[in-house]
Structure 1
Amino acid sequence: MGKRKKEAPLKLAPEARRIFKDLSFFYIPNDDINPVRRLQIRKAREHGVMWCRKLDEATHIIVDKKLTYTDIERQLQDDPKWSEKVLVNENYPIDCIKHRVIVNPNQSQYKISGTPTPAEKPADETELSHLDNDDASLELKPSRRKSARRPRSPVLSTQSRSQSSSQRSIALISSSKRQQNKGVTGNAQPAYAQDEVPLSEQPADTSVDDELTQCISEMKATGNSDLFSDSLMDDDDPAGPLLTDEIEVLSDSSSSDDKRPWKRRTRSSMGNSKGKNPAWQEKFICMKGGTKDHTDNNPNAETIKVLQEMLDQHTLTGDDFRIRAYRLAIATLRTQSKKICTAEEARALPNIGRIADKIEEIVTTNRLRQLEYALDDPQRKIIGLFLQIYGVGQIQAHKWVAQGFRTLDDLKNKADLNTNQKIGLEYFDDLNTRIPRQEVEALADCVKETAAIIDHNVELIIGGSYRRGADNSGDIDLIVTKKGTSSTSQLTPFLNQLVDTLTREGFLTIALAAHHGDADDTDGGSKWHGCCVLPESAFPGPRSEYRPIWRRIDILLVPQTELGAALIYFTGNDIFNRSIRLLAQKKGMRLNQRGLFGNVLRGQGNIKVNEGTLLEGRDEKKIFEILGVRWREPHERWCG
C-alpha cells in the first residue's frame, strides 16, 4: 500500500462494550482504501476485534455488500477451513456495534448472495435438535398476515450487556467447535440462546451515539453513497440519474435562494420565454457556457488541475464524500477572477472547507503530497488499469481486485470475461489511444461515401467532443438523420444496409452492441456500437505512419423531428447537458435526447406521473430559447 497520512490512535471502547474481544475479522476486500470500509474497520477494532491480514487467522469473514459468493469464491479457497468461519456481509458488524451485542449471523440480511446452502443434517441429529428444543416446538406460530407486517430486525443474544464480552467470544468459539464435532457442513454458526427475541421486543437503547451509525445515517440522508443515492432526473434518461452532489455543482452557488423550491408557473411550463429570467437561473452553468481553453486562462488553472487529479483518484475508489467535496471546490475556483493563494482566502469562499489547506499547499509548493501518495498506491493503479478496459465499470473493476486479479494477463488467463471485455483486453492499446481530429474526419468520410450510395438524402453529422472543437476524441459519434422522418423505424433499414456494406468492405470490424427500436421505443431509438479500422488509402498522414488501429464508433439514428434535442445531447459536454436538463426540470419541463416537454407532473420521489407535452424537438436553437438560455455554439459548451 502507498504512504498515507498517519491516522489518529484508536479510541478503545470501555471494556464492557468491547463485544468483539477475542474475535478476528478478515475483510473482502481486505483493505481500508474505501472511506466507509475504513471507518467500519476502525470502529470494529475499537470494540475489540483484531483485523487480520490472512484468511486462515480469521474467525469471521466480512464481505462487501456489492460482492456475491461467485466473486469471492476464488479468494475463499486460500483457506481450506473457511467453511468453519462465520461468513457475513458488512451489515453484520455494524448492527453488532449499534446494539452493543453479538447478533445472530444466521439471518438472511447478513447472507452473501449466491452462497450455497448447507447440506441437510443427518436424521439422528435432527431428532436430537427436536429433543433439545421441546419447549420451542410447542409455541404457536403467528398468523402469516401478522408476521408479514412485522419489521425485520437483527436477532440478538439475550445475555445481559453487563456480561463480559470475552465470555461471549468463548461461547461463540466453543459452539463452533461443537458443531464441527457433530459433522455439520457449511458455515459454522454460533449457537444462540433458545429464548432469543427480536430487537423490537427488547428494551430500547436510545444512546446510539457511535460514529459509524452517524456516518451511515448521514449517507442515507444526503444520498452521497452509491448505496443510498437518489435519482433527481428522468428515469428514462440514457445518461443516467443526476445526483444531489452534481446539482450543487451545476447550480454553482451557495446562496440559499438556490435551495428554495421554484414556484411553477403555467406560462413557463408551456414554454413562454418572454420576460426576464429569474435570478436563480443566471447561476446555472449552462447560462455561462465555456470554451475548451477557458480553464487555461483561469488564474487558478494550475490549482484546479491538481485538484482534478485528486478527484480522479477518489473516483477510482468510489469515495463519494470526497468526490462531492472536490467537485464543489473546483466549481467554486473556476468562478474566481483572482488567484486564491492562502488557506484563509480559500475558506472565505463557499464549498471549500477542508480543501483550503490543500489549495495553499499546491500554490506554495507546486505539489500535493496526498496526490503523490495516491498515485503510488498499487491498489488504485490496478483499479485504474482495469477501468481502461472497454466494457468494465467501477463495480466490475473492484470485483476483480477482490478476486485477487492484479494484471491484464491475470484477467486474460483466469477471469470470466464477456465478449466485450475480451475485445477490450485484446485491443487494449488501440481502444485507449486518442483519435486525432483529422482521423475522425477521415473515418466519417468513409461512412458518408457508403451512405450516399445507399441513400443520398441521408445526412451524417459528427457529434461528441469533435463537434465542440476538440483536438482529439475517444471515439466517433455519427448521427444519422433524414428530412421528413419522424421515427427511428423509418431509418432502421438504412442502418442495416449501411452496417452490412461497411462490414463486407472491412471498415467495420466487430459489433459490440446493436439496438433496433421503433416509434414507441423508450431505449434511445436505433443505434450500432462497434469498432472500425481506417483504410490505408484514406489515412490523412504519411503512409509510413499508417497502421490499422481499431477505433470505437457509434452510429445513432435520429429522426428529423428529434434532431435538435439529439444534437444538444450528443454534443455535450456532460456538465453542460446535466445543467440544462436540471434547469428544464426546475421549470416544470423535461429535456432528453428526444425533445423538450412541458406540463410534466412528478409525484413522490420525483417520479414522473406523465410524459408531458412536446414543446420542441427538431430545432436546437428553439429549445435554448424556450428555456431562456442564451444560444451557445457547440464550441462554447465546455463546462465544469
Structure 2
Amino acid sequence: MSDKALREKVVYFQQQDLLHLSDDEKDFPDPSFLAATHLLADSKSMPPPPSARRGSSFLGPTPRERQQEFEEHATRQRTNTRKCTENDRSLVRSSTTPEPATESLLAPRTRSRGLQQAKKLKKTASTSDLSRHDVPFYRRIGETPRELKNANAKPALAIRVEPEHKQLLKEKIVYFFPNNDTSMARRLRIHKIIELGAAWVTTWRDDVTHVMFDDRHQTFSQLLRHLKRASLPSGTLLDHTSGRFVVKGSSSTNETYTGNLSDSQNPLPMKPSKQELAVISSQEPGPTTTEHIPEQQQLDSSDGIVKDSFIQSPGPLRIIDLTRAATTLPDAISDALSVAIRETKAVAHLPIDDDEEGDSRFESSAEQSSTDLDTDDESQTKPKHTKQTRNVTGRFSKRTGIDLNAFQCMNPAKASSNSSCPNARTIEILGQMCRYYDQMQDQWRTLAYRKAITTLRKQTVKISTAKEAAALPFVGSRLASKIEEIVLTDRLRRLDSTRDDPTDKVLRLFLGVYGAGLVQANKWIQAGYRTLDDLMTNAKLTDSQKIGIKHYDDFTSRIPRAEVKAHGDYVRDALRKIDPGFETTIMGSYRRGAKDSGDIDIIITKPGAKASILRDVVFQSLVPQLFKAGFIKAKLATSSSTDDGSQWHGVSCLNSSKTWRRLDLLLVPEEEMGAALLYFTGNDIFNRSMRLLASKKGMRLNQRGLYRDVIREGKILVDTTTVHPGTTASLSAQVEAYGCSFVAAPVFGPPPVARAAQILIAIAGPPQAVEIINPFLKNGIARDVIHAGSDPSKALLLKSTSNFIAAGLQYLLSEAHVLAEKAELPASVLESLIEQNFGAYAHNTSKRLTSGSYFPSKGQAPNSALELAIKDVGIGVDIAKEKGVRLEIGELSMGAMEEAKKYGDERDRKLDSHSVFGVVRTRASLEFENDAVRERDGLEDKV
C-alpha cells in the first residue's frame, strides 16, 4: 500500500472515530469526557452489588430506588454496546473503505447529515403542548379580569365560557376604551365577552378585532391619540353606520377598510329578507350610501346567503360604542321582530283550530321569516301601498314617549266611513265573521279580526290579493287568503259553514237566551237539548232565563233609534215628577249615533247628590212607579241589595208596543259623570284601549274616574326616590292608613351601573314587606341590599349621608386636580395614585373630572343632573341643621354647585353634578373648561 493511500486511510478512520458513541451522547464533544469513556469501556465488567435488604412491604420499591435501579441498568447497557462496537471494528471491514486501486477518493461523509436527518423526525407531543389546549382562549391570548367583587378581587380564573355553538365572539380579540376593569360595569362587560368566546387585551395588538367604547364621553380622536395611531380600520360586516355603534369623531360612514386583505377575506354581501325590504320601502326616501363590492364577490343567491354572521373569516376591525348601544332604541327591523316574538310567546299556549290558526300579524311574521330564503321573487313584488297607514294623525307624546297612533281610542272610525271605503264589502263580511267569534266568546280571534278590519278601513286602495293583504299590519297569511276569497267570490266559506252547521245553529240559538253564557249553552247541548221548547220543558232555568226564552225574539231583535229615544223620554219624565233636579242620558250605541241598538242604557244623575240619594230615589220610588204604570214588565238583575249598588237591569215596554226591550238604569254621581260617559259610550275595544293608554301614563281608568298613584289594600308600595326623611315618614303613615305597606328603597350608583344590575340599594320598612321585596331587588337590579331597619325614613337618612360623602369627594378631588395642574403634575400620574390608593369609586369620580364629562356638549344630557345634586345635598344640609349640626363641606359643595348652575344657565348648557370642578378651576385663575372640553368642542365645531 502506498504512503499516500495509507495516509488517506488514517485520516478517514480518524474522522470516523466518533461512530462508537451512542446518539443520546451527541451533545458531549468534550475530549476529557471521551477519554473517560474509553477507559470505562476497557475496564472489567463487575457484577452488580447485592440489593439492600429491606423490610417486606406490599408497596414495593420507592421511587428513588426505582430511579437508581434504572440508572444502573442503563450503564450496563451502554458498556455492553461499546464492547460489541470495539469487537466489530476489528473484524468487519467498513463498506465505505476506499479500494486500493482508486486514485480519486470521494469526500468522506460525516455525521452532520445524519444529525440533520434526525432533526427532521416528527416531533412528539410534549407536556406543555398537551396542557396548552386545556388553557382557555381568553387566558392564552389576553388578560384575565378580576372577579365580580368590590373589595380584594382576585383574577377570575374560572370564568364559565359558553359552549362552542353559543360563542358569538369566538376567538375574537377585544380592546376596551378605557381599557381597565376598575369600573364594575366595564368588568361585567369584559366577563360577558369572555363568556361569548372572546379575549380581552390591555395592550394594542395587530390582531385586535373589536374596539369597544365604554365611556360615552370618550371620542375617536382620543382613542387614536391613546394608541398613537393615525387611523384604525372600520367595520364592514355589521352596520357600523347605525346610531348604536357610531363613535363620536370617527370616520365617515362611506369609508371602508381594505388594507392588504385578499378578496377571500372580505365578508360576503348579506341578502336582505322580505321583512327588511318591507321596512325599507315604507320609509321616506333619503340619501343612501353604497359600498363597492368586487366583481368576484358578486355570487349567486345560493352562495351569497350568510347563514351565520358570526362564522366568518377574520375581517376588518369593528368599533362599537357600548354606552350608545345600551341606551338607544333598536333599529326598526329588530324592534318589529322583538315585538312579534314577545306577542307570539304570549299566545303560544292558546288552543287554535286548524282553519283559523294564525289569523293575526303574529303568525304571519313567523311565516315570512321562515320563507325568506325560499322565495326570492316575493321580495321583489311587494305592493306599493305597504305600511302607508302608520302615521294617521301624527300624534306623538314627546314627554312620555308614547305613540298615540298605536291606540285604537285615538283613531276613531266614523260610522259612514265604510260607504266610501274601497274595501267596504270585505269589511262587511269580515265583520260578520268577527261577530260570530264574539258570540262564541273567542276573544283572540275576535281581536284579530277587529284589528284587520281597522287596518282595511284605513286603506285608500282596494286590497285584492292575499299578497297585498299580508303586507298590511295585523293581517296574517290565513286571514289574507280569506280577504282574497271575499274579493273573488263575494262570500266566505268559513262564514257559510257556521250558518249551515246544525251544532253551531243550536249554540248560537242558546247564546241568545238572556243570562246564558257559552259554558251554560254547551251544557244544554251536551244534555241533548236542541230547541227553546226543550229548555222550557226539561232544563232547570232561572227566572231571568225563563223570561229570556219567552221573549227570545224581542230580546234578539234590534231596537230602532226612535224607539230608544221614546224609552229614554218616558224614564226622564217619570223621574222629574219625583225630583226635577234629576237628569238622564241615553248611552251605548245610541250616543255613538247608531241607527239601532241591542238594548237601552240610561244614566241617571243629579248635580250635588250623593250616591245614596240616587239609590233611594231610583230603587225606592222610580222603579215601583214604572212597574205600576206598566212600563217596566220584569226585573232581571239589580245591585241594589248592596250598599254601593249602582245598576238596575230589567225589561220595559211602551204602551204603544207589545215588544219587550231590555232596559239598564245606571246611577252615577255628578263627580263621576266624565268617566261614566266615556265608559258607557265606547264599545269594549275603545274602553280597553283607553284603560291601556291610562296605564301607560301611570294612571288607572274605570267607569268611576281617572286616578293617579292608585294604592290598593294589601299592596306594597316601594319608593326608590330621594326625598327628605320627614317626607318619607309622612308618606309611610298615609299609605299604612289604606292598609298597605310602604318600603323605602333609595338606590346608589350611576346609570351604567344600574344598567348592569350592579347598583346598591338601602331598604327599610315593615319586616314582612321587606322580606317579600328583598329577593326582587337583590336578584333583579342590585348587587346587594343594605337593611336599614323597619323605619322607612332611615333608608333616606342613609341615602342623604351618601350624597354628602359623594359631594365632598367631588370637591376634594377637584382641588387635588387643580393643584396638580398648577404645579405641572401630569393628571395621569395623579389618577394612577387615586386608582391604586383610593379605589374604584374615587377613580371613576376623578375620570369624570379629567375627561370633561362634567361639562357636557351642547344639547347632550348630563350623566347626573346638577339640579338633582343640589337638591340631594340640600336635604343633607337641612337634616344637619334640624339636628343642630353644621355640615361645612356640604355647604361649601352646594355653594359651588349653585355657582356652576349659574355658569351653565348663562351658556344654555345642562351641567353635570361634577361641574364643581369648573368652579374650583375658576377660583384658581384657570378656565372653567379644561383641555378635554376645549378639544372636544373644537372638534365638534369643525364637524
Taking structure 1 as the reference length, the TM-score comes to: 0.49
Find the structure with the greater CA-based Rg.
2
Q: Which one has a larger percent helix, Structure 1 or Structure 2?
A: 2
* Greater relative CO (CA pairs within 8 A, separation 6+): 1
Taking structure 2 as the reference length, the TM-score comes to: 0.34
